[in-house]
Structure 1
Amino acid sequence: VRARLVLLAVAGPLATVHRMAAERAAGLLAVVLMQARQEEELAARGRGDFLTDLAEGRIAPEDAPAQARVLGFRPGDTPLLPVVMRLAPELSPSGNWAVLARAVLEELASVGVPVLLGVRPVEGRVPLLLGLRSEGERSAVADRVAAALRAGVERAGLDRAGSQPPVVVVGVPGGWAAAGAGLRHASETATAAQGLDDRPWYDARRLDIDLLLWRLRDHPDLAAFVNRAIGPLREHDRTSRPPLLPTLQAYLAHAGRKAETARDLHLNRQTLYNRLARIGELLGTDLDDPQTVLALSLALRARRHTT
């Protein structure tokens, strides 16, 4: 926190004692501001501890509303929307989390729904619960919340150049009985989503495959599967040009529609056909076979979690 202390000579010229008093006052104000910031961060951490305990089942659903009210969260009987933001790993231990919590809460004030926001600096997470008026406003609220979270990260100075952008995952609305599981699912999904294409926010329900693959990241069978499925392409791209993995990824993303794939890659049709033929030759597979397409899609998504 930066501040400037201005001493005005109103009734007469400034004397030495006035300057000494101003210097002492500046030191005292710095201590007060530091204490306020620490208290704010401790409060944000306390809310983060409550949300984490709820997610990990240490708080019973029937006890959660009363504890939430103590923390200032009174959503009533409306659906609760779990949201988790995860920062890049290199940012999680450091940063001004008090500024982040205050900035995000100020940004969220315009959303117009009850919010309980906490911080978990060690894990680099910001968990939230929001009270919706109806489940139908989930997408609209998620858009505004994601924008507020990113604005808060920028205001707190946690958007360092070269670091991965924050990942925001939005869970499924429900009551207190589902809130804990929703927070846990969103938290794990936010970790699994790191390294994906940047989006304002991710729907936790659409990343269940990525979450499953992330949970298998240390299993040797996953690395072996990726190597069997796309190993020849990875080896080709290490030594030859043009790389073929981006072509395969775009082709599968467009569900095998060659015209759309060619437009996406800025290629003419014949060049795309030649690359697809080369991919099929290297892999010894038929790119029109549904089982092959499924295996390749899973392998491309799993390669982020393997060395």
Structure 2
Amino acid sequence: AQARVLGFKPGAGPLLPVVMRLADAAAGPPSGGGWAQLARAVAEELAAVGVPVLLGVRPVEGRVPLLLGLRAEAERAAVADRVAAALRAGVERADMREAGGPPPVVVVGVPGGWAAASAGLRHAAETAAAAQGLPERPWYDARRLDIDLLLWRLRDHPDLAAFVDRAIGPLRTHDRRSKPPLLPTLETYLAHAGRKAETARELHLNRQTLYNRLARISELLGTDLDDPQTVLALSLALRARRHVAVG
């Protein structure tokens, strides 16, 4: 009933929660433009998206939550593309992005009914915080970032920092003291699921140089990079290091 009063009248399809978090939200609400101007600019941009929109603004948390009325879940990705572009355009128009700073993070949640809308927005908001520092994308799918969200929730737990230090501490020490750094090699290697040709191509290395670096990584860590449990632990540690302060 409150949504109808605000002019939000979705059809019988699912509701899609979306949250935009400004890049410097952790340091407090950004200066410039003002949140009222941001709300107007975003609302104007969203008017062209072509679906019902219920827009909110949360200056204290540095984020903009919204609900979208979909006709069917199948249009989720296409609508998300248009909404993410509209949100970013609104930020630029309102001058709410620091010069040279990273773009805002847009997280698209899980479609559902009214009963799930509140939880869906909370999930998307937390995921937007957890996505800070990830490789830039127009928007992030909340369903694909559950591991990052879990690690972010554990960010203040000393056991997580200890795990990261045990798993990749020797590489961090090496990279502070020696060249070339090895953490980027490991990260790229794991991102390509251990496919050496693709790893070498992305890093612009010849195969033998890559083999030498991988051997050095295995030596420093005392692990076998072909062991699935080792790969899992290293992957988690690399993702968790964004959220913890380790030496």
The two structures have a TM-score, normalised by structure 1, of 0.77
Cα distance in 1 between the residues matched to 2:3 and 2:232: 44
Q: Do the aligned partners of 1:83 and 1:186 also contact (CA within 8 Å) in 2?
A: yes
Q: Of residues 229, 233, 237 in structure 2, which corresponds to 1:299?
A: 237
After superposition, the C-alpha distances for 1:82-115 in whole angstroms (9 at most, x for unaligned) are 0000002246253411111111111111111000
Cα distance in 2 between the residues matched to 1:224 and 1:206: 25
Q: Do the aligned partners of 1:91 and 1:158 also contact (CA within 8 Å) in 2?
A: no
The DSSP-based 3-state class of the residue aligned with 2:242 is helix
Percent identity (aligned): 85
Match of 2:157 in 1: 219
Q: Do the aligned partners of 2:106 and 2:128 also contact (CA within 8 Å) in 1?
A: yes
Asked which structure has the greater RCO (Cα within 8 Å, sep 6+), the reply is 2
Q: Of residues 92, 99, 108 in structure 1, which corresponds to 2:29?
A: 92
> Number of paired residues?
242
Q: Of residues 237, 255, 280 in structure 1, which corresponds to 2:218?
A: 280
Q: Of residues 75, 78, 95 in structure 2, which corresponds to 1:140?
A: 78
The alpha carbon displacement at 1:273 in A equals 0.4
Segments ≥4 residues shifted beyond 3 Å: none
2:43 counterpart of 1:108 = no
Cα distance in 2 between the residues matched to 1:93 and 1:196: 20
Cα distance in 2 between the residues matched to 1:213 and 1:104: 31
Cα distance in 2 between the residues matched to 1:93 and 1:140: 30
After superposition, the C-alpha distances for 1:115-157 in whole angstroms (9 at most, x for unaligned) are 0111011110100000011110000000000000000000000
- Which residues in structure 2 correspond to 1:32-111 (within 5 Å)? 66-87=1-22, 88-89=24-25, 90=27, 92-95=29-32, 96-111=34-49
Q: Do the aligned partners of 1:193 and 1:210 also contact (CA within 8 Å) in 2?
A: yes
The DSSP-based 3-state class of the residue aligned with 2:12 is coil
The alpha carbon displacement at 1:172 in A equals 1.0
Which structure: greater helix fraction?
A: 1
Q: Do the aligned partners of 2:19 and 2:121 also contact (CA within 8 Å) in 1?
A: yes
RMSD: 1.0
The DSSP-based 3-state class of the residue aligned with 1:179 is helix
The alpha carbon displacement at 1:161 in A equals 1.9
- Which residues in structure 2 correspond to 1:179-198 (within 5 Å)? 179-198=117-136
Instruction: Flag the structure with larger Rg.
Output: 1
Letter in 2 for 1:135: E
Gaps of 5+ in 1: 1-65
The two structures have a TM-score, normalised by structure 2, of 0.96
The DSSP-based 3-state class of the residue aligned with 1:214 is helix
